[in-house]
Amino acid sequence: MDNQEFNILLKKAKLTKKDFSSLVYMNYASVTNWKQSDKVPNWVKSWLTLYIENKECKELKEMIKESICEE
């Protein structure tokens, strides 16, 4: 994954690089250094994809819960 795709996934996840580095217990400087090499570690794409899917599932679950409770 290149840095452009990383930034797209971060935006979709509504995370900043600082947020991401904190969530994965990485030094923020290490994350920002990926831009220089334009190479992001392989695990990051799957991590962000799962993070986004989980967030969407939680939002859907909350909407369903609210809908059921209204009736």
Q: Residue 33 pLDDT > 80, yes or no?
A: yes
pLDDT in tens, 34-52: 998 888 999 999 999 999 9
pLDDT at 71: 59
| pTM, entire model | 0.83
Domain count, the chain: 1
- Under 8 Å CB-to-CB from 16, ≥6 apart: which residues? 10
Confirm if 17 and 31 have CB atoms less than 8 A apart. yes
Q: Which position has the token pair 């290149």?
A: 2
> Domain of 55?
3-70
